[in-house]
């Protein structure tokens, strides 16, 4: 799969995807190009999150899922992990009021309970504050890995079958999807990865089965409302056959 040329156009409402996921890549390279520490890139990346989430709401996207911290990110230097956790705390403190006011439902996918107790409490509170909202969904992937998600789903189904609550012969794709972290989100329509890399990096592997994939060279801190609009316009040119003609 090669990078797709981006079209400069205003997306047609009827062609706006219901669910968009973004692999936010390139913070470190953005900082390196400017002779700045990696933390500066991550901080700029948080600003990009604000711009893109606001643009997604304005465009009518029902669900936006952002890959914020993968289960593999624990392998990074401890100082960088600490910086990322600090930015997450700052984002929750500074943005939860806006999300609540704008009728956004905050969701988290992944095992964020592995974080420190104070951060888990902050995330739980933010989710609770927006739980009754009826507007678009902002899903943040924290300590998320798609392979682990599938393993957990399979284990739950196996445990139910072992207890006699489920006939293994009845397990189908719907049964698996019902056990995934994204079970209450719309089907994934479009996955975007920034920075020019062309891989899924263990993100939404099941959900991306029929999603349109778009790889752009823009580094995440430079990805903004206009870039999202171009991506949606490109999505509108795709013919989605789902295996048919």
Residue 12 has pLDDT above 80, yes or no: no
Known catalytic membership, residue 25: yes
> What pLDDT was estimated at residue 244?
65
Check: CB of residue 182 under 8 Å from CB of residue 150: no
**Is position 201 annotated in a ligand binding site?**
yes
**Is position 72 annotated in a ligand binding site?**
yes
Domain 14-235 class, CATH top level:
alpha beta
**Is position 82 annotated in a ligand binding site?**
no
Give the pair of three-digit tokens for residue 124.
Answer: 């739980």
> What pLDDT was estimated at residue 10?
41
Known catalytic membership, residue 103: no
- Average pLDDT of the chain? 92
**Is position 75 annotated in a ligand binding site?**
no
pTM for the model stands at 0.91
Residue 77 has pLDDT above 50, yes or no: yes
Active-site residue, from 73, 83, 202, 222: 73
- 184: alpha, beta or left, given left = phi > 0 and alpha = psi -120 to 50? alpha
Q: Where are the domains of the chain?
A: 14-235
Active-site residue, from 25, 181, 189, 230: 25
> What pLDDT was estimated at residue 240?
79
């Amino acid at each position: 799969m090669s990078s797709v040329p981006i079209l400069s156009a205003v997306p047609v409402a009827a062609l706006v995807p219901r669910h968009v996921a973004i692999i936010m890549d390139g913070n470190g390279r953005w900082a390196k190009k400017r002779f700045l520490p990696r933390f500066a890139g991550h901080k700029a990346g948080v600003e990009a999150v604000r711009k893109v989430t606001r643009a997604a709401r304005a465009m009518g996207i029902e669900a936006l899922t952002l890959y914020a911290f993968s289960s593999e990110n624990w392998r990074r230097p401890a100082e960088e992990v600490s910086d990322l956790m600090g930015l997450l705390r700052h984002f929750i403190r500074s943005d939860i009021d806006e999300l609540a006011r704008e009728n956004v439902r905050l969701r988290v996918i992944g095992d964020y309970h592995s974080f420190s107790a104070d951060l888990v409490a902050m995330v739980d509170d933010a989710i609770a504050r927006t739980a009754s909202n009826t507007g678009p969904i902002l899903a943040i992937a924290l300590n998320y890995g798609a392979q682990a998600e599938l393993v957990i789903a399979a284990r739950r189904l196996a445990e139910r079958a072992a207890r006699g609550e489920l006939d293994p012969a009845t397990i189908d794709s719907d049964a698996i999807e019902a056990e995934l972290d994204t079970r209450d989100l719309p089907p994934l329509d479009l996955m975007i990865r920034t920075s020019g890399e062309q891989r899924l990096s263990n993100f939404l592997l099941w959900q991306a089965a029929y999603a349109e994939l778009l790889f752009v060279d823009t580094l995440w801190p430079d990805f903004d409302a206009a870039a999202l609009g171009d991506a949606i316009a490109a999505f509108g040119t795709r013919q989605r056959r789902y295996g048919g003609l």
